[in-house]
Amino acid sequence: MTFSFRRSDFPDGFQFGAATAAYQIEGSSFGGAGPSHWDTFAATPGNVVNAETGAIACDHYHRYEEDLDLIRDGGFDAYRFSTSWARIMPDGTNVNVEGLDFYDRLTDAILERGLKPYLTLYHWDLPAALSDFGGWRNRDVANWFADYARTVFARIGDRMETVATINEPWCVAWLSHFLGIHAPGLRDIRAAARAMHHVLLAHGRAVEALRAEGCDKLGIVLNFEHANPASDAPEDVAAARRQDGHYNRWFIQAITQKSYPEDILEGLGDHMPQGYEADLETIGTPIDWLGVNYYTRSNIAHDPDSVWPSIKAVPGPLPTTDMGWEIYPDGLHAILTRLHRDYTKDTPIIVTENGMAWDDHVENGRVDDAIRVDYFDAHMKAVLRAIADGAPVQGYFGWSLLDNYEWAQGYAKRFGMVHVDYETQKRTPKASYEAFRHAIGGN
Ligand code: IFM
């Protein structure tokens, strides 16, 4: 099973990488980490499949050298990882030196293998202590986050290839405070509006803080989903536009144009924090690159029975992954070219996550994830088309290096290029890993 592309099809210097996130792989019970709001969220029955947590996860905290060997041996150039806020500041304020030491060792080990480190400062593990103070609903979170960003940067920032502030603000805010699916599990439009703004203010404050420290490789990682109207009916077309607004346009418009989409303010405006307009200058502090996470499209219909934005996702006709997500590579091309044309212009774009979940099994020592090989292949070709159409895409990271903790789905969904047996922690590279090695590793 091989890909139809090779490294030489991409522009010189294009970076191929593998991505992970701290809480999903490290093991949050090790090294003096404090509880994050995922630990407290999972403790309430019904929130997470089997009430599972990241306490052990892939035990990457102890096995990081073996995992980094896999990245190097797969022919990848770069490793995207995140630091855990709850590990570095277990009570939300005081620094756990053991936590910083871990990321120092990790950074050295990445560099020793000739890999480039791509850091994400926040991939969802908010210290539970800060969540108890209101978390993303509390305006103070922006300053708490900037302090944390400064602390991490002071220790490892000089060795990073890039630094991203926040991973997927839509999930931090909307999925977690309006849809109630991720921690802290709220279904509250007022909480959601505040989180939608504060997560961007936190990003802006951190960019200002790290710029002042001389950092010139700052970005943010946004997730995008192609919003497809479920039918040609004007109500469905308008519903898809609202979906596109709160999911796709809200964040990128604020960052690049210092404004929020008017059609979304129609719904959120009454719930926004007072005086939010004055923060848009900070939110729009220029970034050096944009990270794009892309997985699927959504098919959106008008839902007259639900509150604003009165939308519902309906099943579409395309084949789906184990998450039930439609496989739609054209959406990645559409998003990349649209971002370049309408928002980011010449700012470099990096595809920081792309991948799929499948019910993989080890058979005779192998995992033949042919469907994932096809998925990666089709999406890489979509990236190539976007580059040919002028989008300045400079890298691509597969999600994920390892099977890992898939948030509210616990360990039930496998996204890895490398299979993990959670009983033994044995790693088994899948066919998709071998396909990358063949295409980009020169073997
Ligand atoms: O596992 C997540 C990751 O943490 C953020 N982006 C989407 C992935 C798959 O759901």
For atom 2 of ligand 1, which residue has the closest CA? Answer: 406
Task: Give tens-digit pLDDT for 321-342.
Answer: 999 999 999 999 999 999 999 9
Mean pLDDT score, 160-188 = 98
Pick the atom of ligand 1 nearest to 124's CA: 4
Domain hosting 201: range is 7-440
pLDDT tens figures, 422-443: 999 999 999 999 999 999 996 4
Instruction: Tell me the average pLDDT across 304-315.
Output: 97
Looking at the structure of the chain, the number of domains it has is 1
Residue 1 lies in a domain: no
Q: Give domain status of residue 2, yes or no.
A: no
- Residue 224 located in a structural domain: yes
pLDDT above 80: residue 319: yes
Using most ligand atoms within 8 A of CB, pick from 399, 401, 420 the residue to mutate for ligand 1.
Answer: 399
Q: Quick check: is 208 catalytic?
A: no
pLDDT at 443: 44
The Cα 110–Cα 68 span in angstroms is 7
267 lies in some domain: yes
Annotated catalytic residue 168: yes
- Nearest CA residue ID for atom 1, ligand 1: 406
Domain assignment of residue 122, yes or no:
yes
For residues 115-138, give the mean pLDDT: 98
Is the C-beta atom of 399 inside 6 A of ligand 1? Answer: yes
Residue labelled with tokens 């407290």: 40
* pLDDT of the residue at 222: 99
User: Mean per-residue pLDDT for 26-46?
Assistant: 98
- In tens, the pLDDT along 104-124 reads 999 999 999 999 999 999 999
Distance CA 33, CA 36 (A): 9
pTM of this structure = 0.98
Decide if 353 is inside a domain.
Answer: yes
Q: What CATH number does residue 353 fall under?
A: 3.20.20.80
125 Cβ closer than 6 Å to some ligand 1 atom: no
State whether the beta carbon of 81 lies less than 6 angstroms from ligand 1: no
